[in-house]
Amino acid sequence: MFTGRLRSEIPAALISLGDSLMLAGARLTILDLSDNAFGPDGVKGIEKLLKSSACYTLQELRLNNCGMGIGGGKILAASLVECYEKSSKEGAPLSLKVFVAGRNRLENDGATALAQAFQMMGSLEEVHMPQNGINYPGITALAKAMQHNTGLRILNLNDNTFTEKGAVAMAQALKYLNSIQVINFGDCLELNLSFGEITEEAALEVARAIKDKSQLEKLDLNGNCLGVDGCKALIDSLESMNMAEVLGSLSDDDGEPDDDDDDDDDEDDEEELGEEEIEEEEEEDDEDDKEEKTDSSIKVSTPPSTRPPDVASFLSFPSPDKLLKLGDRRAMLIEEQVDVSDVTKTTEAFLKIASVYKEENSEVKAAVLDSIDNLLRKAFTSPSFQGYNFVSSLLVLLGLIKSEEKVKPVHVVPGHLQALEHVVRQDYFPQESVTVLQAFMSRNNKALESCGNARNSLQSTLQRIRPEG
């Protein structure tokens, strides 16, 4: 809004904007002035608006990358406090839910001032304040304020400096945040979620959340309620992200909560039965021995933890077992799940399926290749799908070329190259792309170092099928 404007012009423009909103009797729920470099003087320009009745109903305040500085942070905090006090007198206190103020150089004093406003409101669900030069005094103040915002779901303080003192204060605050879903502190080294009655589904969400946390050294999920299959699924998911080494021991896992509940129910039922009823049950059990065995075998063969995974689960955390459990219709199910009009999504799906390829396991190998053929045949035969874009996306995700966008390459495994060797031999794959692939596969690249044999085999195939001329 203010690109190329003089510093003296900006406050006047913001004051006019605020005056018009107040004059119109507006009741704002969202105010987003992000990416406007209006600085501390700009905050003065919206000070009157923030204190007015137009903002009593405000739920989202987004001031990302505005260059507010410490002074602007203090003015903003004072405005929010006054707005809260005024609106409270009218019986409807300000209940801000989302606050965004990343990259504003708030530092300790600005963060501490805002913490006072946050503590007073107690209604926040999302707080985003990354890259603000906040050290442990400011982090400690924010941590104390968060204890009063028990509905907080997302807390992003990435690229600030916690130190041990700030980390301890934040750890205490987390005890009060029962609704927290996303924690982004950037340089977190250890995440301890042990003995918290966490289930398999929640543990897999945790695994998904740490996917890009390359600094993480330890993840402790011991003593929870994952069950045997849940532990295996967790390990598989971390292995697929090349992060299995950060997972601590799972030796004290309590098993699935449903199993414990069922055992308790059975014990309660037995206590309620009289001796005669127990004897009658035993007689019935003897008479219906075959049915009992059948029922028992059914329970053993289909416990809740071994329910067939869906396609979304497989694509989120691929494993050979999950792919096989999708059944004979797996290829069609995957095809239906993936939007083949989106080249990036199609490429990502191909790599996820290929990552579980096992040359030595004929069943898994067949399932992988069948699923890939079905998906890519549909994609390449679609009029809107461009083959060269697929190859370009593939090279980016394999880490062989850099993208203008921030795309994190996958960890290349032999299965990726073995599946690709199969794909390039199929009639649906465009022959003009073979030469491009061969050129990049022949280069020295660290991403392919762990796949020597698979790479050599792929290169030989590309050389053999390369178009003449």
Q: Name the CATH superfamily housing domain 8-246.
A: Ribonuclease Inhibitor (3.80.10.10)
Matching fold, domains 8-246 and 311-465: no
Per-residue DSSP letter, 247: B
pLDDT at 427 over 60: yes
Q: Which residue has the higher pLDDT, 58 or 252?
A: 58
**What pLDDT sits at residue 421?**
94
Say how many CA atoms lie within 13 Å of 372 toward its Cβ: 29
**Mean local confidence (pLDDT), 250-279:** 55
- Helix/strand/coil for 292: helix
pTM for the model? 0.49
| Maximum Cα–Cα distance across the chain | 94
**What pLDDT sits at residue 276?**
45
Is residue 448 within 8 A of residue 424, CB to CB? The reply is no
**Mean local confidence (pLDDT), 386-393:** 86
**What pLDDT sits at residue 426?**
94
CB under 8 Å, gap of 24 or more: what pairs does 442-448 form? Answer: 443/400, 445/399, 445/400, 447/398, 447/399, 447/400, 447/409, 447/412, 448/398, 448/400, 448/412, 448/417
Give the start-to-end residue ranges of the domains of the chain.
8-246, 311-465
What does the pLDDT look like over 26-72, one tens digit per residue? Answer: 999 999 999 888 889 999 999 999 999 999 999 999 999 999 999 99
Q: Which residue has the higher pLDDT, 270 or 148?
A: 148
DSSP 111-164: HHHHHHHHHHH---SEEE--SS---HHHHHHHHHHHTT-TT--EEE-TTS--HH
**What pLDDT sits at residue 269?**
46
**Mean local confidence (pLDDT), 417-426:** 94
What does the pLDDT look like over 196-251, one tens digit per residue? Answer: 788 888 889 888 888 877 777 888 898 888 888 889 999 998 988 888 888 988 88
**What pLDDT sits at residue 206?**
86
Per-residue DSSP letter, 246: G
- Look at the block and give the residue holding tokens 């971390």: 238
**Mean local confidence (pLDDT), 436-440:** 89
How far is it, in rounded angstroms, from Cα 230 to Cα 359? 26
**What pLDDT sits at residue 309?**
54
How far is it, in rounded angstroms, from Cα 338 to Cα 217? 34
- Look at the block and give the residue holding tokens 């423009």: 13
How far is it, in rounded angstroms, from Cα 126 to Cα 60? 9
Is residue 133 within 8 A of residue 107, CB to CB? The reply is yes
**Angle made by CA atoms 367, 371, 377, in degrees to the nearest 5:** 145
**What pLDDT sits at residue 291?**
45
Is residue 157 within 8 A of residue 139, CB to CB? The reply is yes
**What pLDDT sits at residue 348?**
93
Question: Phi first, then psi: what are they for 31, rounded to 5°?
Answer: -130, 110
**Mean local confidence (pLDDT), 383-393:** 85
pLDDT at 22 over 50: yes
Q: Which of 453, 468, 459 is nearest to 437 (CA)?
A: 459
Is residue 188 within 8 A of residue 216, CB to CB? The reply is yes
How far is it, in rounded angstroms, from Cα 51 to Cα 232? 54
Count of helix runs (H) and strand runs (E) in the chain: 20, 8
- What's the burial of 326, exposed, middle or buried (CB within 10 Å: 0-12/13-18/19+)? buried
The third-level CATH classification (topology) of the domain covering 311-465 is: 1.25.40
What does the pLDDT look like over 102-121, one tens digit per residue? Answer: 999 999 999 999 999 999 99
Q: Which of 348, 361, 345 is nearest to 318 (CA)?
A: 348
- Given pLDDT bands bounded at 50, 70 and 90, which one contains residue 278? very low
**What pLDDT sits at residue 1?**
65
Residues 6+ apart with CB under 8 A from 92: 56, 57
Strand (E) or helix (H) holding 306: none
- Look at the block and give the residue holding tokens 């006054």: 82
**What pLDDT sits at residue 2?**
62
Write the CA distances from 247 to 219, 239, 252, 355, 413, integer angstroms: 5, 10, 14, 21, 20
Least confident of 1-5, 351-355, 447-451: 1-5
**What pLDDT sits at residue 187?**
63
What does the pLDDT look like over 305-355, one tens digit per residue? Answer: 334 457 888 888 888 888 998 999 999 999 888 988 889 999 999 999 999
Is residue 325 within 8 A of residue 356, CB to CB? The reply is no
